[in-house]
Homo-oligomer: A and B are copies of this chain.
């Protein structure tokens, strides 16, 4: 099997070289607090809960891109598709800590849980309280909401928590809003191609032309099943059927929508999906309050897309609309 085509220098150095580029490109937003620990230039402040996110690399602009005033205060950066070790998590938390406690938020993956939990223990020894809210928006990944993965819905969930922290709410409230945001965010995706790690440059899995993985994660993990590649509207319908059933929102409810590219699926296809999503939401009498369309949570060069719907209430609407100014994401 031939090697995949990537513009890199050395697979093992890819994450550090990327990080160097991110810091060089966004000096007004980001600085390095310690190796693999990035903190917002304007974000952490005394008396404010520190929102610290993190996870494996390869999902850009998630997580790094969401660090900035009004959203995450700091980020721990892992290897490709690998949770960061405890140390960068600790370093990110210490750099962002304003004395009002730290909230760790990241996707629900075994590796991340173990590493961030170890970080929490280390912070405890420093007298810093760190709590954790896991994102679990991928409705395809388990029937049990607590066991689900965190995927593209991260954007909305982190955004809500970041706004709460920016509004100087206490840790209890920030945590509550983060959990509330997570509970009302629903994502499902399909993959149309594999991706490849920079170290191996081999496709993660084999997906024949004409097929797709349904209920795909964001690490090239297989989905819930493999099926024939269907037209965009049929794909959107299958996802929206699942989301609408799970969400069970009353007519007239407001929602936020994210149509996300897993990497190489271009805007043309995302907007074709979006047109159908908007139709389906209108048919269900749901009001689109705001939308994002683009690559927000990716698996490097994987082809495919996910649809996220967040069921808003007044509080979540306020949190999503609250301004933020990050390296790769802005609101207001």
Q: Which residues of A contact B (CB under 8 A)?
A: 2-10, 14-15, 17-22, 24-26, 57-58, 60-61, 65, 80, 190, 192-193, 198, 207-210, 212, 229, 231-233, 235, 259, 263-275, 278, 291, 293-295, 298, 300-301, 303-305, 328, 330
Contacts and interface: CB of A to CB of B under 8 A. Distances in A.
A162 to B, nearest CB: 19
So how many copies of this chain end up in the complex? 2
Given A263-B264, A267-B60, A5 B301 contact: no
Given A18-B272, A21-B275, A271-B18, A301 B9 contact: no
Contacts of A26: 291
Given A21-B278, A264-B303, A9 B209 contact: no
B61 A7 contact: no
Pick from A5, A20, A208 the residue with the most CB of B within 10 Å: A5
Contacts of A208: 2
B264 A301 contact: yes
A8 B269 contact: yes
Contact of A272 (B7, B270, B275, B301): B7
Nearest to A61: B267
A94 B40 CA distance: 45
A168 to B, nearest CB: 26
15 contacts: A2-B209, A5-B210, A6-B269, A7-B305, A9-B232, A14-B272, A15-B268, A19-B271, A21-B273, A21-B278, A25-B259, A26-B291, A80-B268, A263-B264, A267-B295
